[in-house]
Amino acid sequence: MAGPGRRVLNALNPLSKLAVCAIWLAASVLIFDAWFQIAAILLVWLVLIVFQRTSPLVLLALMVPFCLFGLGFLTTSVLFRQESDFAVQVASETPFGSRAFSAGVNLFLRAIACGMISTFFALTTDPGAFVRALMAYAKLPPRIGYSLFAVMQLVPDLAAEAQQMRFARAMKSGRAPRRIPGPFEAVSLVIPLLAFGIRRAGRTAIAMEARGLATGTPRTLTNVPKFSVRDAAFVAIALAILGSLTVATGR
Amino acid sequence: MTFDLSTPEASSAAEWRGVDVRYPFAGRNAVGPLDLQLRPGERVLLLGASGSGKSTLLLTLTGLLPNSIPAEVGGEITIGGIDVGSREPAGWAPEVAQYFQDADQTLCGMRVEDEIAFALENRAMPEAEIAAVIGDAMREVRLPESWRQRRSSSLSGGERQLVALAATLVQDAGIFVADEPTAHLAPEAANRLHALLAKAPATQTMLIVDHRLDGLIETIDRMVVLGADGTIIADGVPRTIFRDKRAVLATLGIWRPAAAELDGELTRIGLAPPIAPLSIEEALAHLDPSHAPQSAIARAKPVVAAFVAACAAPADAAVTDAPVAAELLDAACAPFLGPVVLRNVDFRIREGETVGILGANGAGKSTLGLCLAGLLPVKSGKRQGATGGVAFQRSENQFVGGTVSDELRAALPPRIGDAEQARLVAETLEKWGLGGLGRQHPFELSQGQKRRLALATLTITDRWPLLVLDEPMAGLDAAGAAALTAQIAGLCRQGRAVAVITHDMDLALRLCPRSIVVGEGRILADGPTGELLRDADLLRRADLAEPSSAAARRWLDRVAAC
């Protein structure tokens, strides 16, 4: 069951969260300071664990791809430092050993910080509510909005479909399916899943058309997320923390 | 623009004039040429063998075919006298509510309440009104309130069908079109749907395709039968067609209600019911033991007894001493990466045994089947025995070949030579009624054909000592179902164990000497199918219904008591 904190974050208007996340992402990109990035990562962790009751293990697992991405920056920066003079110059002012390593660490942390801010948005936002908010407040056309929504919904469906395919293949090969597919199995699923995605998109389009989704006709939007005092408080607190951090880290 | 299809001025709610449909690269018409008129307020049942073009015909009504699905459509189609082509398909939504064969074609993957609201939002209905309508629809279809926030794609196949039904009913359109609305529904849910159709406003026109006729047929005014070539071969009152065209329908492999068979037998001995019956009760109403002549009852008794016996698996088919093919011991079963849905499962299936797995939508039958087959590891407890072959509910998931023939070839052991492979493939195609489709892509087949192909790939070799068939008859016509029933009986005679997951109580009774009933997170009962389906309390707890032959058995009990 969702805790009260979970309800607070989920009840926020997705556009408030989007705006705050966009500002924090911009800050993470522009503020080349390792302490700032660390603070951003820890803050997201704290908020997700305390308010969203997200397991630290889940957060660690979600950080893996961003860490790998950041590792690329780190190695590039250490091995090819002449390519990043500006970054090296800026990073030299931070207390992380050599200039090249310091710049690499900055880029590494920045990748994780951006990833965690995105994760915060994804874990606290219902895709349906997000699309509805975009249609209601950003005048996103319903056809595009629902297409976007269908794409977002396709991700978990692809996982379920992949699982059914794995069962069928495991049956044909005479072995029980592994918990996590191996690289060959994963690659072999790509084309069937693509075919599924195309079929599913066609069916969804027919379903929406048969139920009257058309362009240029007025329509009602139900369950539109409302803006409330909580949104104002959330934005104010998030920006205040950002300002404090910026000042504290000397920018 | 909307208009009232029930007004006297609208002489036809919908009409097809000289319509034929041909899909790209197809050698013949999928439908037609045909002429069909639906009168306002009429309830029409469209029957036909698998692949006869029923679904295709429905898709032409609002122009989804050819606007959204490529095909050549000839002739003229009108709704309320207006050419269908004069609007986009979406423009007909206020007049036509469409419930597709595949729930995924009706639903869009949203949360349940959003799915139900979608058509009303598109109609710009005020939000407060939409909220009230959603509540009413959920109550009417008996969707739990707890489903409101659930994503429709996280529901089981039958549950999705119920949501799709609610989403379609709220449209309150003048024409309601439904393609196999009960295909994946448990008996109680199917009865609920039939009741909803029965109490629909008299002004609403209905066009329904369904194979599950018992419980539905009484609400139907008119029946249209499509032949194998997609043309109309019968059009009239159901009672008349089922009696007068009995042989033709049987030859074409088209479903008939159970009463039609009994009517035929009673007619043969000169005890035909005064009116052609649509239910077993009607078929035996003139032979009520309390007032019918004793001589008539004496003549009818062996016929009714033979009918009841034919509806049940032979008594000697029960297997009690063969080696165990697979077993679950104190097992906890859960879907992949999901929570446990069944606990303390003790279940064994023996070689040569056919066991029915019965239960309501979402009870965990498919999960149990996958655990039994060894494809899903049990969360706790133990599974023993050979790995099983599974015919999945969505046949498409198991297709990997580019053509139907490739699919069958892939199921054969590689050591078999090309000539032998070709012979086996050709033989299997014929055996499963797929002759002439060998070069088609599996995804291009009709639902019934896909199911037959899936089963053909599992039975083309004797690789699987255990088979788990998940809703094997869904989408099959009567001929396909009869062929499959005979196939399953043959497999059991060869010593294979077969577990049949089904919502069809008639099938379970006819095919499975033994069944288990799943519900309340465990196995509720395990025993002879006939006995289980006589237990009214058990049926109520598990949301099941008695088989259609139950009324005939009760008649025999009354005769015996007199």
Q: Indicate whether B272 and B336 sit together in one domain.
A: no
CA dist B479 and B378 (Å) reads: 37
- Chain A residues with CB under 8 Å of B124 CB are 217-220
Instruction: Give the count of domains, chain B.
Output: 2
Task: Give the C-alpha separation, B175 to B519, whole Å.
Answer: 36
Inter-chain residue contact A171 with B375, CB threshold 8 Å: yes
The residue-averaged pLDDT of B516-538 equals 93
**Would B490 be classed as within a structural domain?**
yes
pLDDT tens digit at each of 251 positions of chain A: 344 445 688 889 999 999 999 999 999 988 888 889 999 999 999 999 988 888 888 888 888 888 887 777 777 766 665 555 555 555 555 555 566 667 778 888 888 999 999 999 999 998 888 999 999 999 899 888 888 888 877 777 788 788 888 888 877 776 767 777 778 888 888 888 888 888 888 888 888 888 888 877 888 988 899 999 999 999 999 999 999 999 887 65
**Burial class for A152, CB neighbours closer than 10 Å (0-12, 13-18, 19+):** middle
**B93 to A211: CB separation less than 8 angstroms, yes or no:** yes
| Same-domain status, B272 and B362 | no
ipTM here: 0.76
pLDDT of B460 reads: 85
What is the rounded average pLDDT of the residues B481-497? Answer: 84
**Helix residue ranges per DSSP H, B499-549:** 505-511, 529-532, 536-541
Residue B376, helix vs strand vs coil? coil
Length of chain B equals 562
In this predicted structure, what is the pLDDT of residue B8?
A: 46
Determine whether the interchain pair A220/B124 forms a contact, defined as Cβ–Cβ distance below 8 Å. yes
User: In a mutagenesis test of the B interface, which of A178, A191, A220, A224 is the best target, namely the one with the most B β-carbons within 10 Å?
Assistant: A220
The closest alpha carbon to B122, from A180, A145, A66, belongs to A145
Q: Does B222 reside within a domain?
A: no
Radius of gyration of chain A (CA): 22
User: What pLDDT score does B455 carry?
Assistant: 82
Q: How many angstroms separate the CA atoms of B503 and B339, rounded?
A: 23
Which of A206, A223, A224 should we substitute to test contact with B (largest number of B Cβ atoms within 10 Å)?
A206
Establish if A180 touches chain B: CB-CB under 8 angstroms: no
Report chain B's mean pLDDT, rounded to a whole number. Answer: 87
| pLDDT score of B487 more than 70 | yes
Q: How far is B176 from chain A (nearest CA, A)?
A: 12
Span B123-129, mean pLDDT? Answer: 90
A173 touches B: beta carbon within 8 Å: no
* pLDDT given at position A88: 55
B22-58 confidence digits (pLDDT tens) = 988 888 888 979 999 999 999 999 998 877 889 899 9
Mean pLDDT of B300-321: 83
Answer yes or no: do B371 and B283 share one domain. no
Q: Chain A contacts of B1, Cβ < 8 Å?
A: none
The parent domain of residue B273 ranges over 258-311
Nearest to A207 among B106, B171, B400 (CB): B106
* Residue B149, pLDDT above cutoff 70: yes
CA distance B287 to B267: 13
Using a CB-CB cut-off of 8 Å, the residues of chain A touching B64 are: 206, 209-210
Final residue of a structural domain among B311, B329, B348 = B311
Strand, helix or coil at B66? helix
Is any Cβ of chain A less than 8 angstroms from the Cβ of B69?
yes
Mean pLDDT (whole number) for B466-493: 84
User: Does B111 contact A128 at a Cβ distance shorter than 8 Å?
Assistant: yes
3-state class of B481 per DSSP?
helix
**Mutation target among A171, A199, A203, A223 for the B interface, most CBs of B within 10 A:** A171
User: Does residue B16 register a pLDDT over 50?
Assistant: yes
- B93 to A156: CB separation less than 8 angstroms, yes or no: no
**B474 is a domain residue:** yes
Residue B134's Cβ-side half-sphere holds a number of Cα atoms within 13 Å equal to 25
On whether both B546 and B465 belong to a single domain, the answer is yes
Three-state DSSP state, A241 = helix
Q: Are residues B346 and B414 in the same domain?
A: yes
Domain boundary among B311, B331, B351: B311
Given CB atoms, is B462 within the 8 Å cutoff of chain A? no
A11 CB neighbours in chain B (<8 A) are none
Instruction: Say whether both B389 and B306 belong to one domain.
Output: no
Residue B28 domain-assigned (yes or no): no
The token pair at B107 is 């639903």
pLDDT of A76 = 72
Helical segments of B356-437, H only = 365-373, 404-410, 418-431
The reply to whether A155 touches chain B by the CB within 8 Å rule is no
B547 in the same domain as B421: yes
Q: Which residues 191-220 of A have a C-beta within 8 angstroms of B? A: 192, 195, 199-200, 202-214, 217-220
Which one is predicted more confidently, B49 or B208?
B208
CB contact at 8 A, B359 and B379: no
B-chain residues within 8 Å CB-CB of A180? none
The token duo for B288 is: 């009520």
Q: Which amino acid is at A45?
A: W
Q: To 10 degrees, the CA torsion angle through B243, B248, B254, B258?
A: 30
**Amino acid identity, position B204:** Q
Find chain B residues with C-beta within 8 A of A169's C-beta: 400
Measured distance CA(B554)–CA(B546) in Å, rounded? 12
Higher per-residue confidence, B69 vs A175: B69
Least Cα distance to A181 among A199, A159, A200 occurs for A159
Q: Which of B147, B167, B166 is nearest to B155 (CA)?
A: B147
| Residues 21-40 (B) with a CB less than 8 A from some CB of A | none
| Contact at CB, B336 and A223, closer than 8 angstroms | no
SS3 of residue A31 by DSSP: coil
State the burial class of residue B484 (Cβ atoms within 10 Å of its Cβ: 0-12, 13-18, 19+).
buried
CATH code where residue B339 lies: 3.40.50.300
Say if CB B5 and CB B204 are below 8 A apart.
no
Taking only the tens place, the pLDDT of each residue in B399-440 is 878 899 998 988 888 788 888 889 999 999 988 878 888 888
Name the domain boundary from B311, B330, B348.
B311
Shared domain for B295 and B336, answered yes or no, is no
What is the full DSSP assignment across B119-145? HHHHTT--HHHHHHHHHHHHHHHT--G
Question: Which tokens belong to B209?
Answer: 């395709």
The pLDDT of residue B376? 87
| Residue B325 touches partner A, C-beta closer than 8 Å | no
- A218–B100 C-beta distance less than 8 A: no
By C-alpha distance, the chain B residue nearest A151 is: B109
Q: Give the residue on B whose Cα is nearest the Cα of A201.
A: B108
Instruction: Give the count of beta carbons closer than 10 Å to the beta carbon of residue B115.
Output: 24
Same domain, B442 and B306: no
Domain membership of residue B328 (yes or no) is: yes
In a domain, residue B265? The reply is yes
- Percentage of residues in chain B with pLDDT exceeding 90? 40
Say what the pLDDT of residue A234 is: 94
pLDDT of residue B486: 84
B525 and B379 inside one domain: yes
| Residue B383 shares a structural domain with residue B451 | yes
Residue range B338-391, pLDDT digits in tens:
789 999 999 999 998 999 999 988 889 999 999 999 888 899 999 998 888 888
3-state SS assignment for residue A55 = coil
Give a yes or no: residue B100 inside a domain. Answer: no
Do B333 and B278 reside in the same domain of the chain? no
Chosen for mutation from B396, B455, B458 (greatest number of chain A CBs closer than 10 Å) is B396
Residue B383 placed within a domain: yes
* CA-based nearest distance A95→chain B, Å: 44
Angle between helices B418-431 and B447-459 (to 10 degrees): 130
Report the alpha-carbon distance of residue B423 to residue B409 in Å, rounded: 10
Alpha carbons B100 and B106: distance in angstroms, whole number? 6
Question: What tens digit of pLDDT does each residue of B491-522 get?
Answer: 888 888 999 999 889 999 999 999 999 999 99
Of A29, A50, A28, nearest to A41 by C-alpha is A28
Q: What pLDDT score was predicted for residue B1?
A: 44
pLDDT of B522 reads 93
A contacts of B104 (beta carbons < 8 Å):
200, 203-204, 207
**CB-based contacts of A125-129 (< 8 A; 24+ apart in sequence):** A125/A10, A125/A14, A125/A17, A126/A10, A126/A14, A127/A152, A127/A153, A128/A223, A128/B110, A128/B111, A128/B114, A129/A14, A129/A223, A129/A225
In this complex, the residue of A156, A167, A213 whose CB is nearest that of residue B122 is A213
Higher pLDDT, B389 or B562: B389
Q: Does residue B507 belong to the interface with chain A, where contact is any CB pair within 8 Å?
A: no
Q: In the predicted model, what is the mean pLDDT of residues B256-263?
A: 88
Nearest CA among B406, B450, B411 for reference residue A172: B411
